Amino acid sequence: MKRSRLTAFRVLSGIAIIGVLFLVAGVIEGHAVLKESSPVANSKVKGPDVPIMLKYNVRIDAKLSKIQLLHPDNSVSDLKIGAQSSPDTVNTTATGLKPGAYTIRWQVLAPDGHITRGAVPFTVTGS
């Protein structure tokens, strides 16, 4: 009798552990992680107009997301997010950029309700 109780306990424990792992995996996957960007981090691009594309591992809510550009003089400008080419991508364009070091600051809302932030530094060379 004790042996069957121990076996049942082990089976139930295993099922519970697997359930928790699936739950944690689902939550982690729901967070937006930047997979690809243009410009690429630490790259050099020609100005003065620079198209910006940010692609994530999950769909994001562009209406509740934000992209800013940090300029070489440390001023910040908000960039308008354009129509999404796909649910996991945001697009915009930074215009009139002079040569120097810039940083794209992004903040996106993922399906799990969490806001994720990050930055992509790049350098603008002459046109």
Q: What's the pTM value of the predicted model, to 2 decimals?
A: 0.75
| Three-state secondary-structure class, residue 32 | coil
Say what percent of the chain tops pLDDT 70: 76
d(Cα 114, Cα 33) in Å, to the nearest integer? 11
Banded pLDDT at 126 (limits 50, 70, 90):
confident
**Sequential DSSP letters for 59-112:** --EEEEEEEEEE-TTS-EEEE-----SSTTEEEEEE-SPPSEEEEEEEEEE-TT
Positive/negative CA dihedral, 62, 107, 115, 34: positive
In the beta sheet, which residues pair with residue 88? none
Average pLDDT score over residue span 119-125: 98
Average pLDDT score over residue span 11-40: 66
Reference 91, options 100, 101, 103, 79; nearest CA is 79
Tokens at 113, concatenated: 């309700």
- How confident is the model over 51-110, as pLDDT tens digits? 999 999 999 999 999 999 999 999 999 999 998 899 999 999 999 999 999 999 999 999
- Asked if the model's pLDDT at residue 120 lies above 60, the reply is yes
Banded pLDDT at 27 (limits 50, 70, 90):
very low
